[in-house]
A = this chain, B = another copy of it.
Amino acid sequence: MNTMSKTLSTGSDTSAAAVPKVRVRDRILDTARGLFYRYGLRAVGVEAIASEAGTNKMSFYRCFPSKDELIAEYLREQGRGYWDWWDAAIAPHAGDARRQLEALFDNYMTLTCKDGSRGCSFGNAVVELPEGDHPGRRVIEQHKAEMRGRLRTLSSEAGASDPEALGDTLMLLMEGGYLTRLSFCSQGPISVAGKAVRTLLNAHIPAVAPTAKTPRAASPKRSKA
């Protein structure tokens, strides 16, 4: 059960306050991101975070009212990074939702299979936060709802006959990849995600007359439900 061994190197170097021009709050948040993601929420104490960030517990509590609030802030921060990544992944194929979905999943596979990946911060966090009233839960539920919405929208734009079903299926796929990553290293079931997406896309998007290459341009108001 002793997850975090004492791997902390000297957070600040020899002389006091030499390098760290960054605000304590930012250093703490950044350290927390790494530690929470690697070891989990409950496994990491505020003292460990503070010391790894080159400061101490007292300064920690000047920046954050509680550990729970830090967790919530950590999740918000992860969320910002996540959507930046997402937008960057689909940007090159603007106007072609089908290729956007393919690119998204290709990108997601490379990222999630990398060494050191521990899947999805939100998925992992929600496992450790069963309490309905934890400040982090709102962030998680909002994030996952947004993810679902975006996948449904992309599915709709791609011309799926049942965009809600396709979007949700893609979400299951993605979340499954995140989760299995934790038990399978890199050669797990996630390897087939790219192929699976294409199979599902083919099954859900009705074939069009072979004139245009892309099924539809943007703004396709075609959902039915």
Contact = CB atoms under 8 A, between A and B. Distances in A.
A10 to B, nearest CB: 24
A130 B167 CA distance: 30
Contacts of A188: 148, 168
Interface stretch (A20-28, A47-55, A56-64, A171-179): A171-179
Contact of A1 (B42, B141, B164, B203): B42
A179 to B, nearest CB: 5
Contact of A199 (B183, B191, B204): B204
Interface in A1-16: 1-3
Interface stretch (A78-86, A91-99, A116-124, A209-217): A116-124
Contact of A192 (B127, B130, B169, B195): B169
Residue with the highest number of chain B CB atoms closer than 10 Å, among A67, A167, A172, A200? A172
Interface in A112-154: 118, 122-124, 126-131, 134, 140-141, 144-145, 148
Interface residues of A, number: 57
A179 B188 CA distance: 17
Given A43-B42, A199-B204, A192 B178 contact: no
Contacts of A191: 168
A39 B42 CA distance: 12
Contacts of A43: 42, 128, 130
Interface of A: 1-3, 38-40, 42-43, 67-68, 118, 122-124, 126-131, 134, 140-141, 144-145, 148, 164-165, 167-169, 171-180, 182-184, 188-193, 195-196, 199-200, 202-204
26 contacts: A1-B42, A1-B134, A3-B129, A3-B131, A39-B130, A40-B42, A40-B130, A126-B182, A126-B183, A127-B182, A141-B184, A148-B188, A148-B189, A164-B192, A165-B192, A165-B195, A165-B196, A168-B192, A169-B192, A171-B189, A172-B173, A172-B177, A172-B180, A173-B176, A175-B175, A176-B176
